Structures are given as C-alpha cells and as structure tokens.
Amino acid sequence: MRASRNGNIWQHVDWITIGLFLLLALFGWLNIYGASYTFDQTGIFDFSNRAGKQFAWLMGSLALGIFLLLIDYKTYDVLTYFAYGAMLLLLLATPFLAHDIKGSMSWISLGPVSLQPAEFAKCVVALTIAKYMGRYDYKIRTWRDLIVPFAIIGVPALIIMVLQKETGSALVFASFLLVFYRQGMSGYVLWMGVAAVALFIISIRFGGVPLPLGTGSVGILTCMLVLTAVEIYFLCKEHYIRYQALIMISSVVAVYAICLIVNIWIAVPFDWVAMGVVLALIGYNTFISLYWRKYMLLFVAAFTLLCIGYTHACDFVFQKVLQPHQRIRIEVLLGMKEDPAGAGYNVNQARIAIGSGRFFGKGYLKGTQTKLQFVPEQDTDFIFCTVGEEWGFVGSVAVLLVYLVFILRLIFIAERQRNITTRIYAYAVAGIFLFHLTINVGMVLGLLPVIGIPLPFFSYGGSSLWGFTLLLFILLRLDAARMEQLN
Amino acid sequence: MINDKYYNRRYVISGIAVVIVLVYIIRLFYLQIIDQSTKDQADNNALVKQTIYPSRGLIYDRNGELLVFNQPIYEITMTMREMGKDWDTTAFCATLSITRAEFDGRIAEIKDRRKNRGYSRWTPQVFMSQLKKEDIATIQESLFLFPGIQIRKRTLRDYTYKAAAHVLGSVGEVNQNDIDRDPYYSRGDYSGRDGLERTYEKELRGEKGMEVLMRDVRGRIKGSYQDGELDVTAKAGTDLHTTLDIKLQLLAEELLAGKIGSAVAIEPKTGEILALVSNPSWNPKVLVGKDRSKNYNALLKDPTKPLMNRATQAMYPPGSTFKTVQALVCLEQGGITPNTLYPCSGPGSKPIKCTHHHGSPVALDKAIEQSCNPYFWCAFRDLMEKDGYGKDNEAFRRRYELWRETVMSFGLGQKFTDTDLSEQSSGSIPSTRLFDKFYGKTGWKAITIRSLSIGQGEILATPLQLANQAAAIANEGYYITPHLNKNDSMQTHRHEIAIQKKHFEAVKDGMHRVMVYGTGRHYAIDTLHMAGKTGTAQNPHGRDHAIFIGFAPVENPQIAVAVVVENAGFGATWACPVASMMIEQYLTGEMKRKDLKNRIASAVLNESVKKW
C-alpha cells in the first residue's frame, strides 16, 4: 500500500513547477559564482567559495525536496500546530542564542553553518494559516473572523521585527493579505493599504517642501482631501455619497483655479485658502448629513478628519519611530537626499551595474561592477545586479518572466485544489514568492527602499534556499495528494 | 470550488503579479536601454588607464658616440590602506636610513590634501622619489616586511660627458601650458625643456602606451581588462644622431674655461655644426632629478648668465672679421678690384686710424693680412659713393640698401629660420630706415656710417652667424643652414650669396696670409693650410672682445670656426689660438700642442665664471 502510494507521487507531482524551480535555482547558482567571482578564482565547485557552498546547499535542498515528497501528506496536517508552537519558541529563543550580525539577531550558529529560523517560520505560518482558515466552518464574514489569522501572522512577525531586528523578514508576512483577500477579505482593505502608502509617501516627500499650491503641510492636506474624495467615489456605491465626493473634488479644483487667476494680480495666501476649503467641506458634509439625516456623509467628514490625522501620524512615525538608517533609505528613494557615498551607495552602484549591462549584457563572468565588488551584498540581496550586468536586458527580463510563470503556476496549482487548506497554503506560497520578488527586485531597481530580503533561489544562503524549498515541496506534496484524497 | 464567489479574485491576484513584473520590465528598459549614463559610470568605477612610459630616444654625436641616455630611477610608494596597525615604522625608517621625524613629516605632507590633491588611502602615494638603484637595494630585499610599500621605476636622463649642456638641453616636468597646447601630455609627464631635447621632443619622446586595468572597489588593481585588448603598447622614442663631434666640443669647452665666450664650428659643405660652445656652461647632470629646480634657480641667479647660449644668442660687433665680407661686397659691387690700392698712414689715418704698422699703399690681400682699417674705409666709401648721392640722397641710399642685402645674404642680421637650433638672436645689419630715423633721409653720408666699414658701430652678429659667414667664404658663395641633426640632410637649404665665385679667391688668399704672415701667424700649423681673420671688437662693456673666424684647409675646407672671448683683448691673442687648436683637433683627430692648450685652458680671464 505504502509502496504504491510512493510510486504515485512521481506521477502526480507537478513537474512543471519542479522544472521552473530547477531552472531558477541553477541559474541563480551560476550567478552566485559570477557575483563572488574574482580574478584569482578557484573552480565553481570549490567549497571554500560561495558558489561551492551554494552548490552544497542546493544538493541539500534537492535531498530535502525528495524527502518532503516522500512523507505522507497527512503528516503535515498533523504536525502543523505543534510546529507553529515550536517555531514561536525557537523565534523567541533565537535572540538569546544568536550573535549580532550587522545589528540583526536572527542567526543561530550550528557548527560550520549559520541558520536563520525566520526563513523557516514563513512555511510554518503558511501551514498554520491554511489549516486554520481551511476548516470547513471557517468563513470571513466580519472583521472579527480575521482576528485569529492576523494573530497567527502577527505574533511571529512582531518577534522577528522587535526581538530579532529583521524588519525585512517580518514584512514578508504582509503577503498573507493576498491570501485573506482570496478567502473573502474585503478588497477595500487592499485599497486602503495602497491609499495609506500613497498618503505616507506624499506627506513624507512633500511635508517640508513649498508646493505651488501653498506651502508644506497645508498643501498636503489639500492633496489628501482630493485623494480621499477620489477614494470615496470609487469605494462607495451609494449615489449621494459619490455625488458629495464629486462636489468635493470639483470645488477644491475650482477654488484653486480661481485663486491661481487672482494670484496674477494679488498674492493669494494659499495656506489659508487650503485650510478654509478643508474646513468648509467638512462643515458642509456635516451640515448636509445632519439635515438629510444621511449619516453616511458624516462618515465622509470623519474620514477626511481621519486622513488629516493620518498625515500627521505619518510624519511622526517617519521622524520618531523609524530607525535612522531606514529613514535615510526612504529619503534616498524619494529623492529627498543625495547620498551616493552613504545610504544611496548600494542603490546607485546597483543602478550602474544593471544599466551598464545594456541590451545583451557584458557576458557571463565579465561584469566589472560586480566582479570588482562595487555593489555590496551582490551575492545575497543584490544578486539581481549580476543578472542585469552580465546578461543584460534580455537576461533580466527572462528571469523576471520565469518568475512570473512560476508564480502564475503556483496560483494555477492553488485553484485546482479541492481541499481548501491546500488552496490557502498554495496562495500563501505564491504570495510569499511574489512578495520576495517584488521587494527584492524593486529595491535593486531603485523603485523601493532598501529592505534586506533575499531573491528566492538566487540569493546566496542556505537558510533562505531551504526555507523556500520547504515552502515549495510541501505544496508539491499536498498538490500530488489531491488524487489520493479522492480515492 | 464551483460555488466559490471569490473565484474571480484569482485573476486580481494574478493581475497584481503581472503588473509588478511589467513595471519592473519597464524600469529595466529605462535603465538598460534608454539611460546612457551608466556605461561610463561603470567604466569610471572599474577601469584605470595606466600610462606606460616609453624610453626616450638616445642622443649620439656624429661618430656614434653616446651622449645622452636614460637611467632608471625609483620611487617608493605607499598605500596607506594596506599598512596595518602593526606596521613597523621603526624598521622601515632604519631600512631607508631616515629619521622618524622625517618619516612623520613626509606622511603629513602626503595626507595634506592641499599639497597632495590626489590623496587617497586606497591608491599608492609617492613617499620618496628619484632614488638610485643603490638607494633602494636594501628596501627591495625587505619589501615583504612592509605591506603597502611598492617600488616604481621611471627613467631620467643621464650624460656620458659633462659637455654640450646648451646644445643638448634638458628634460623637465611639463607645465599647464604644455598640457593645454598638446593633449599628448598629462600632469607629471616629462618633456624637453630646451635645446635639442625641446626641438626634437616629438621624435625623442616616442609614444606613450596605455594599459587598461581593472580595479576593485578598494582601488586594488585586479589585472588587465578584456585580456589587454584595449591596451596600447608604448613606442620608444627615436634616437637622435647629432652633427656634434664630442671630442671637438670637449676641447673647445676646456679651452674656454675661466672665460666668457663661445666657439662654433661648422662643416662648410654640409652646414653641420661640429661644436657649439657657450661658456660659462654647466654639467648637464645638475638639471636632472630631484635637484633640478634648485640648480636651475641657482643657474638663473648666476651673474655670468650661464643659461644663456652665447653661441647663438649673444650679439657682438664682429670687428675686423667683418672685413672679409666687406671686401667681397666691394669686389662684387664694383668699388674695388683685388689690385686696387689705398694709402694708409698707420695710427695717424683719418677718419679711421690703423692699428697696425705696415707699408702703404696696400692691395686687398695685404689689407686683409694686416687688417688695415683705412683700406676698408676707403673701399666702403668708394662703393657707397659710386653713383654719387643723387637727389635727396636717393642714389646713396639705394647703394646702401644693396650693400645691406648682400651682407645679409651671408646669414647676418637675421635668425636661421630653417634650422633646429631653438634659441637664437638675429644680430643686426642696420637698415636704411634706422639711419633715416637717426639722421633724416638726407642727413647721412658714407662718412656717417664709416664704422660699418670695419665691423663696428651698429653691426652685431652672433658667434653662430660668424661661423656661418666663415663657412660661406670657405664655400665660395653659399652656405647650408647650420643644423644639429645628422640624419637630416640640409642640402636643399642652400643659401646662395650674391657674389660671384671668382671674387672669393682674393679674400681667401688674404685670410690664408693672416695665418701665415699676419695677426694669426703664431698659431698656424703649416700643413693644415688654415685661413682666418682676427677681430678685436670695441664694445661698451669693458675690454675689447677677442674674435676670430677661420677655416681649413684653404683648398678644400673641412671646418669653419668662429670664436669669441668676451673682454679678453686682442682676437689674435685669445680667440685665434682656440680656433686653431679646434681646427687641429678636428682635422688631425688629436691636439698635439699641449703647452698651448694648457696655457689657454688655465687662463682665467673672468674671475666670476663658475664651474657648474
């Protein structure tokens, strides 16, 4: 019985995904050799260099993958909660066992190798979320239903962020929002997230800058007001609220247009005008809602006030809560600071490395930027530079497209599951890979702030490779079991 | 699940992934296709262009004798970054035998960005430069003890003989002007600053090569870029074979020791300069290496002006040596024939007295032999007044103009423009305009300019011009532009003199008589058939300048010489023996009159002449 089941595994396992995985991992390994290659370089299999070590990790990861496929799929389900508990303990213990590596307390030394438990936490959290939300009686009806899932991801995220000081690894848990969304969480949450980020960027970027329409924060208030109105217009289905939102947008635009024209002859105090417009609109909304007894409009007014508060909160978070190095990274990204020798150094060198690759790249092992170590962390977080420099536009786009196909394949796998638990888990895996790809490549391309998380299968490091292997092969095992469950 | 109402959200999630990848592809397109700046930035980061200096061309004399060559010198550089904490400064100072204070002082200098703008902890900085091979021997052996210390090799000029400093010139670091003028140079390069080194700079310097190297983020060199595909090999400079005869040059320099003066020897048939001496001079080695600017400034301050090349730049009244030219012009333009006689009343002659005692009247040969002033005054006057003075002095002025033109065809009164001698003065043959200005068009007559007849007055010539004049007489009617490059045949630079060949015989005969019966008779060697003319030039700077021009052998001249000894007195006493010995040296290959040589060489006529 057991033998036949094991025989089935190789028929049911998704070879396309395994193929994509091998493609990415091998190409990644080549690039690690490229990134750590120097002129007195030994061979690619020499275990004293990083490519050699990565090869060992890669072999280990294949062994791990085969092992994971051979295990009975039910084992995962059985072990999930225990694993979650054990993981929490391990994460809690890590800061005490770890030694400080560049301010991060997330590495545990086991003889010659160091492991980062946070990399394995993703997998366990994904399984736990899947198991919890996959229960037949679980449905997202109100926000209360999301409390437990948020706690499941929130607790390890907090431990990793606060105790281990690994912001990047903690942020990965945000990718579970996609899972929740798929499971029925309101799309507004995603929209709110986007809007919050947009407002954050606007208020940080333009907070102290004199804008053409009034200086600094009051200019922001107006932008925010327009943004709020736009948001309300698209989010709210009730006509009269949409109508009010339209009034808000058009009256702000009209007032400013008039002021601009008047400004030709008489200098207009835009700060006061903005303040007046904001107050007038809030007052108008309040009045109308009380008059018509449409309290939804009161919500609009309140929401506007909330946004004003949020803008100021952003400023506070940015100035007081964020670490100085994080603040500088964001400032550099938003073009508020030029610091090519300091915080902007990585990003600038990465841009030069990728840009100088041009269309076809400089050729394998011929990139000067990466060979000569101009890009820091080039074999870990900044590995994509090597791809860009040596393989050019062609190679970079190819890698991105393979990733895209890989992620779409994971979504495809997710949707073919009859077992909801497996589907949720598959979405979690797809989300985690998408998040890593987005943050890592976005950072290297200078589109996102520098957040140190690895590019799956590319970045050097055993923990991350094995962590991703764990994620992926458990999914493949569960996927292969979808036939067994029918029988 | 068929009844899953959120089923469509799979497309939203897939869409998010697609949009993100699309945005990144657009960004890649911008960075890698549109933005052109990154390629250069990457090259600036990683590529170092290191210059390979070619070896400078050597300089030889006419007989293949090596005069100027290159000596390797060494620089000790240090890369601060590679010098660890336990770097043994004490041992390092001991190896170089410098004190700790000197070491610290030098380090402070290196780190001072105002003095050393290119300072970087990552790149080699020059700690000590211009070191000899023996200076670096000890440090070379123990180099491994001192990480960050490197030894770099460059080359400097070195000289076989302490001679011909003015001719050879020197090599020094380029200045901003040179860099602006010629993009070939960059800061720290060397170029010929004067003399032949400057004239033949382009040939001697060769072509710099370039090595494209890669450096890493720490500035460490990581080997050649693209296997040296972009490298340019250095091209060594071309050797220069000069026309100098170093033995002749050495002799002349020795003879002029203790005197201010110059000597120029030319091979008449070719215009090749055999010797070009200006004293005081200096040992060319003092303008090489780290003491160059110190020594240069000292030379500059020397009141005897050793840096001036008197052979080409100093202008003297030619005195009686000019009578040879005067005689030729008068013969040609019809003032006299070789048989014309003029009376001489010795020191009582008017308007110009004669400085010698001889019979009267005299013909041309005797007049040259005895350097008879009245003869040349009369001949000059007769030529000038040949057509009378005419209306408004026109006829006379035209005569003078013609005379001047002919005189200048000897190369007098102008620079040699088609030569490789860099520093020259033009000398002076006064123009009609000059006299018009002084006296008015009608205000000057032959008598006004009588001094010209005997090579005094407004006439000025450089020793080079005098030697060339001697060569032109030796050649009987032409000269080849005097030059220093043996490989450069100058036969096309032949300058004809507007005097018929037949007239030269009488003058040459007269000059031969000078060496047999006349003022030069004491220093003649019968077998060498010398011809010459002494001159004793009055000048406003003190005693008369002793001047001599000559050539030998008369029948087939091999060498023409001009010697000037400033403020020495009679040309016959000081200039003639120098020229005579030079002729002997050149024609016979040795100088046998040792006593004469010692007497002249050891005579110090000017106390302030220093030996550099």
Domain count along chain B? 1
Name the residue of chain B whose CA is nearest to A418's CA. B1
- Between B59 and A257, the higher pLDDT residue: B59
In a domain, B545, yes or no: yes
Lay out the sheet containing B47-52: strands in order across.
B47-52, B209-215, B221-224
Nearest to residue A445, comparing CAs of A369, A310, A350?
A: A350
- Between B554 and A113, the higher pLDDT residue: B554
B208 neighbors B184 (Cβ within 8 angstroms)? yes
Residues 167-226 of chain A whose Cβ lies under 8 A from any Cβ of chain B = 178, 181-184, 187
pLDDT at A360 over 50: yes
**Angle made by CA atoms B228, B202, B287, in degrees to the nearest 5:** 105
In a domain, B408, yes or no: yes
Instruction: Please name the member of B1, B41, B216 whose beta carbon is closest to the beta carbon of A352.
Output: B41
Model pLDDT for residues B494-532, shown as the tens digit of each residue: 999 999 999 999 999 999 999 999 888 999 998 999 999
Instruction: Please name the member of A39, A389, A411 whose beta carbon is closest to the beta carbon of B13.
Output: A411
Which H or E run contains B329?
A: helix B323-332
Model pLDDT for residues A419-437, shown as the tens digit of each residue: 899 999 999 999 999 999 9
Q: What proportion of chain B, given as a percentage, has pLDDT over 90?
A: 54
pLDDT band at A47 (very low <50, low <70, confident <90, very high): low
In a domain, B217, yes or no: no
User: What pLDDT score was predicted for residue A1?
Assistant: 37
Pairing label, strands B66-78, B149-159 = antiparallel
B335 neighbors B480 (Cβ within 8 angstroms)? no
Instruction: Please name the member of B25, B32, B46 whose beta carbon is closest to the beta carbon of A400.
Output: B25
B239 neighbors B59 (Cβ within 8 angstroms)? yes
- Between A234 and B360, the higher pLDDT residue: B360
Tell me how far CA of residue A416 lies from CA of A47, A177, A413, A420, A431, in angstroms. Answer: 42, 21, 5, 10, 17
DSSP state letters, B145-179:
GSTTEEEEEEEEEEESSS--HHHH--EEE--HHHH
SS3 B271: coil
In a domain, B120, yes or no: no
Residues 6+ apart with CB under 8 A from B120: B219
Reported in sequence order, the residue ranges of B444-579 that DSSP labels E, i.e. its strands, are 478-480, 494-496, 531-537, 545-552, 559-565
- Between B28 and B347, the higher pLDDT residue: B28
Counting every residue written for chain B, the total comes to: 612
pLDDT at B388 over 70: yes
CA distance B183 to chain A (A): 28
Structural domain span for residue B449: 246-292+307-602
Q: B443-482 burial, b for 16+ CB within 10 Å, e for fewer?
A: ebebeebbbbbbbbbebbbbbbbbbbbbbbbbbbbbbbbb
Pairing label, strands B559-565, B261-267 = antiparallel
Which H or E run contains B196?
A: helix B195-199
CA distance A441 to chain B (A): 8
CA distance B231 to B214: 12
CA distance A444 to A467: 22
Q: A244-261 burial, b for 16+ CB within 10 Å, e for fewer?
A: bbeebbeebeebbeebee
Tell me how far CA of residue A270 lies from CA of A228, B11, B273, in angstroms. Answer: 20, 44, 88
* Pairwise CB contact (< 8 Å): B42 & A438: no
Lay out the sheet containing B559-565: strands in order across.
B272-279, B261-267, B559-565, B545-552, B531-537
CB pairs under 8 A between A and B: 131
In a domain, B253, yes or no: yes
CA distance B253 to A290: 117
Amino acid at site A99: H
Over residues B194-202, mean pLDDT: 92
Among A36, A351, A404, the residue to mutate for chain B (most B Cβ within 10 A): A404
* Pairwise CB contact (< 8 Å): B24 & A178: no
Among B1, B3, B21, B227, the residue to mutate for chain A (most A Cβ within 10 A): B21
Average pLDDT, chain A: 83
Q: Tokens 């290659």: give the residue.
A: A37
CA distance B152 to chain A (A): 23
| Dihedral over alpha carbons A23, A27, A29, A33 (to 10 degrees) | 160
In a domain, B241, yes or no: no
Model pLDDT for residues A156-185, shown as the tens digit of each residue: 999 998 888 888 889 999 999 999 999 888
User: What pLDDT score was predicted for residue A42?
Assistant: 58
Burial (CB < 10 A; 0-12, 13-18, 19+), residue B582, is: buried
In a domain, B428, yes or no: yes
* Pairwise CB contact (< 8 Å): B25 & A39: no
pLDDT at B352 over 50: yes
pLDDT at A107 over 90: no
Q: Output the domain CATH number for residue B375.
A: 3.40.710.10
Q: Tokens 């919890």: give the residue.
A: A132
Model pLDDT for residues B299-345, shown as the tens digit of each residue: 999 999 999 999 999 999 999 999 999 999 999 997 788 999 998 88
User: What pLDDT score was predicted for residue A450?
Assistant: 84
SS3 B309: coil
B455 neighbors B469 (Cβ within 8 angstroms)? no
Q: Does A430 touch chain B (CB under 8 A)?
A: yes
- Helix H, strand E, coil C: the string for B352-407 is CCCCCCCCCCECHHHHHHHCCHHHHHHHHHHHHCCCCCCHHHHHHHHHHHHHHHHH
Is the entire prediction scored with pTM above 0.90? no
pLDDT at B368 over 80: yes
Model pLDDT for residues B110-162, shown as the tens digit of each residue: 888 777 766 777 777 888 877 888 888 888 888 778 888 888 777 889 999 99
CA distance A109 to A98: 7
Q: Tokens 């394949």: give the residue.
A: A409
CA distance A424 to B121: 56
Amino acid at site A41: Q
pLDDT at A211 over 60: no
CA distance B524 to B576: 9
B56 neighbors B155 (Cβ within 8 angstroms)? yes
Q: Tokens 């006061």: give the residue.
A: A272
CA distance B391 to B388: 9
pLDDT band at A487 (very low <50, low <70, confident <90, very high): very low
Q: A60-78 burial, b for 16+ CB within 10 Å, e for fewer?
A: ebbebbeebbeeebeebbe
Q: Tokens 């809560």: give the residue.
A: A321
Amino acid at site B157: R
DSSP state letters, A396-421:
HHHHHHHHHHHHHHHHHHHHT-SSHH
B264 neighbors B466 (Cβ within 8 angstroms)? yes
Model pLDDT for residues A402-411, shown as the tens digit of each residue: 999 999 999 9
Model pLDDT for residues B412-466, shown as the tens digit of each residue: 999 999 899 878 999 999 999 999 999 988 889 889 999 999 999 899 999 999 9
Average pLDDT, chain B: 89
Model pLDDT for residues B83-120, shown as the tens digit of each residue: 877 788 888 898 888 899 989 988 888 888 777 766 77
CA A249 to chain centre: 32
User: What pLDDT score was predicted for residue B468?
Assistant: 96
SS3 B561: strand
* Pairwise CB contact (< 8 Å): B38 & A356: yes
Reported in sequence order, the residue ranges of A14-153 that DSSP labels E, i.e. its strands, are 108-110, 113-115
CA A98 to chain centre: 25
CA distance B394 to B396: 5
* Pairwise CB contact (< 8 Å): A369 & B45: yes
| Dihedral over alpha carbons A210, A211, A217, A219 (to 10 degrees) | 160
Over residues B51-70, mean pLDDT: 91
Q: B515-551 burial, b for 16+ CB within 10 Å, e for fewer?
A: beebbbeebbbeebbbbbbbbbbeeeeeebbbbbbbb
CA distance A248 to B406: 104
Among A359, A372, A374, A397, the residue to mutate for chain B (most B Cβ within 10 A): A372
Among B34, B41, B48, B212, the residue to mutate for chain A (most A Cβ within 10 A): B41
Q: Tokens 């040459």: give the residue.
A: B508
Model pLDDT for residues A268-297, shown as the tens digit of each residue: 777 777 778 778 878 887 887 788 777 767
pLDDT band at A65 (very low <50, low <70, confident <90, very high): very high
For CA atoms A377, A380, A384, A389, give the dihedral sign: positive
User: What pLDDT score was predicted for residue A210?
Assistant: 54
Q: Determine which of B45-59, B149-163, B584-598 has the lowest per-residue pLDDT on average.
A: B45-59
SS3 A114: strand
User: What pLDDT score was predicted for residue A209?
Assistant: 56
Residues 6+ apart with CB under 8 A from A121: A87, A91, A156, A160, A169
Give the single-character DSSP code of A208: T
pLDDT at A219 over 70: no
Give the single-character DSSP code of B477: S
Burial (CB < 10 A; 0-12, 13-18, 19+), residue B603, is: middle
Instruction: Please name the member of B9, B17, B28 whose beta carbon is closest to the beta carbon of A445.
Output: B28
Q: Determine which of A215-219, A324-328, B64-68, B202-206 has the lowest per-residue pLDDT on average.
A: A215-219
CA B13 to chain centre: 84
* Pairwise CB contact (< 8 Å): A373 & B43: no
Give the tokens for residue A42. Answer: 């030994």
Cis-peptide into B361, omega within 30 deg? yes
pLDDT at A338 over 70: no
Amino acid at site A17: T
CA distance B44 to chain A (A): 10
Residues 337-366 of chain A whose Cβ lies under 8 A from any Cβ of chain B = 349, 351-359
In a domain, B214, yes or no: no
